[in-house]
Each structure stands twice: as C-alpha cells, then as structure tokens.
Amino acid sequence: MIAYIVTRDGAHAVREPPGFTIGPAAGHIEIVSYERAVLRSEWQAGAVVFSDLERFYSTQFREVTALHRRLAATGRVALLNSPSRTLGRYALLRRLREDGINSFDVYRADEQRRPARFPVFLHGERDHRGPMSGLLRDQAALDRTLLRLAEAGVPLSLVLVTEFSDVCSLDGLYRKYGVYIVGDRIVPRHLYFSNHWNVKDFRTGIPPGIAEETLFAEELDYLHGNPHEASLRPIFERAGIEYGRMDYSLRPDGGIEVWEINTNPVHMVAAVPPGTPRYDEIFVPFNDELHAALMSLPGAESTERFSIEPVRGGFGRPVPEAVEG
C-alpha cells in the first residue's frame, strides 16, 4: 500500500480527477490528511509519501516529524520526503545559488540583505500560485510594493524576493520544463512555452507566427527523451526530495535554473479533456509512467498491517470523520 499524506488545503491536487484515480496504482493508494495521520495507529506496510511539505507552519512541524520518526522506526515502510530533511523553497533556492547551479539569488522580504541585482519579483514561500508582482526594476519599486503588501496585511516573512533570470530562447519564447521524481525514477511531465517570462501552464500565450504543432513535437521529444535526467537527479538529492515535481528552465549557456520543487503537484488540469492531443499523447503516457513508478515503490502491493503509537495533538483542532475517504 502507498499512503499519501497531504494537507487539507492541498488535497484537491490528488483527490480531484484525474489525480491518482486513473491507472494501476489507483487501488493501492490511500490519501490521508495530516490531521488524521498524526492521530492514527493502524498503518499498512509499503510506502508513505510526505507531500505538501511547503505548506507547513512551524506549529505543525513537531508532530509531523514525530510521525515520520515513528514510521521509520518500524522498518515496515519506505518513506518518501522527510519533514526534517527536505528543503523548503527558500532554503533550496539559496542552496542552489551557493552551489553554482542557479544563477539567481533569493531573499526573504523581511531580511536585511538587499538584492544584488534587478529586476526582481515577489513570490509567496508557501504557495504555488505564481508571482505576486510583475518585474520590479529597482530598490525603490521593491520598497513601495513591499509597503503596500504590509499595509494590506500580508506577512512579509512569507514573501520571497527573487532575482529575475532571463531564460528567453533565441526564438523569443520562454520554456518551462516539469519533471517528477518518484522514489528513484525521474519522469518528465511537461514542457510549456510562452512569450512572457511568467510561464504558468500550457495555456500561456504563444505569439503569431509560431506553429503550435512544432512546439507540441518539441514537447513530445522532451517527454520521450528525458534529456536532463542526469543533471536533475543530484538536484533532487540536494533538496532531500523523493516525491515531487521540479519546474525549471535552461539558460542560454545550457545551465539549469530551478524555480521550485512542488511536493504535491497537480497531475493534469481539468481543462484538458480526454480525446484531445494533449490528453491522449502527453497526459496518458505520463500517467502510465507515473503509475509504473508508484507501483515500483517497495511494498506498493502489500496488504500487511502494523501499529505505531499515535502522535497526539492533531494540529490543535477537531478532526472530522469525513476527511478520509
């Protein structure tokens, strides 16, 4: 069995179709909220995925870490992602900059360091909604924007200031690659294109004069070739992440720029229906690879049960019985 532990706020990513509902692993995955997991004593042998780690608050860290420790002590499960070892967005981007992988730096909005270069943009540390601002060209523009956010009640401790890295290709397009890690398998997910620096998904604008068929073929080549696997694997290792999706781009010099690693990614947006080329030729093969990787996890088909002493507390609030299902 595979237990997939997720926050309430992030449960939609895997509960809403297609989520984990289509494929051979569907009958071997149990989705469990953290609120329920810390109160639970009965578990099944196999694998446990600690997802959505970037959404945690410090008040939740102790309980989730204790749960991870107690499960590890049984020797009955393979644990993917560790709340005490997995790097969050800020720590990861700082590490990659210091290690010479990323060319850009990142700052907390409330820290004393100031950006070494401009433009910059703002991003929430705990969400995946994309930038909170456009490109800010100088320190004065940054200060004005941060003041407006603070006056609106936004905690600046949860806002990151990120130096802009221009990864535009010679054809005028920005490319954003997405790749999963599941245990020891690297599974390419997508290649998105846009004429805007903020490439959110495949629906971001493509300028006239560029054939979508050409871009679609390039995306298929990426998915089938997995060309960056050797470079990406050590980055996942640095991050301490065994399950999640990395979003990244390539610089003009060929180097990798990592934007984030999402430990609870959405597999496919509902706007892509079956019968369309994107669903049939991109999502279906990816989903097959994803489920094959899930089923390769130790004990994925196990039905053996074991018990642990439950972690008490439950994040300090009542847990309704309808959370799991």
**What's the CATH number where 110 sits?**
3.30.1490
With respect to residue 168, please indicate whether it lies within any of the assigned structural domains.
no
Long-range CB contact pairs, 311-318, < 8 A, 24+: 311/38, 311/39, 311/63, 311/66, 311/67, 311/70, 312/38, 312/39, 313/38, 313/63, 314/35, 314/38, 314/39, 314/63, 315/34, 315/35, 315/38, 315/59, 315/60, 315/63, 316/59, 317/35
Using one digit for the tens of pLDDT, what is the confidence trace for 205-259? Answer: 777 778 888 999 999 999 999 999 999 999 999 999 999 999 999 999 999 999 9
Are residue 181 and residue 286 in the same domain, yes or no? yes
With respect to residue 99, please indicate whether it lies within any of the assigned structural domains.
no
With respect to residue 92, please indicate whether it lies within any of the assigned structural domains.
no
**Count of domains forming the chain:** 3
Are residue 194 and residue 273 in the same domain, yes or no? yes
pLDDT value of residue 253? 93
With respect to residue 97, please indicate whether it lies within any of the assigned structural domains.
no
Sign (positive/negative) of CA torsion 234, 238, 242, 244? negative
With respect to residue 132, please indicate whether it lies within any of the assigned structural domains.
yes
CATH of the domain at 279: 3.30.470.20
Are residue 204 and residue 273 in the same domain, yes or no? yes
If pLDDT is split at 50, 70 and 90, which confidence band does 324 have?
A: very low
Are residue 204 and residue 219 in the same domain, yes or no? yes
Are residue 125 and residue 192 in the same domain, yes or no? no
With respect to residue 62, please indicate whether it lies within any of the assigned structural domains.
yes
**What percentage of the chain carries pLDDT values higher than 70?**
95
**Closest residue by Cα to residue 103 from 228, 229, 251, 248:** 251
Q: Averaged over 60-81, what is the pLDDT?
A: 95
Are residue 289 and residue 303 in the same domain, yes or no? no
Are residue 265 and residue 281 in the same domain, yes or no? yes
Q: What is the pTM of this model?
A: 0.92
pLDDT value of residue 313? 58
Are residue 121 and residue 144 in the same domain, yes or no? yes
With respect to residue 96, please indicate whether it lies within any of the assigned structural domains.
no
With respect to residue 288, please indicate whether it lies within any of the assigned structural domains.
yes
Are residue 317 and residue 244 in the same domain, yes or no? no
Are residue 236 and residue 136 in the same domain, yes or no? no
Residue 307 lies in domain: 2-86+298-323
Are residue 221 and residue 237 in the same domain, yes or no? yes
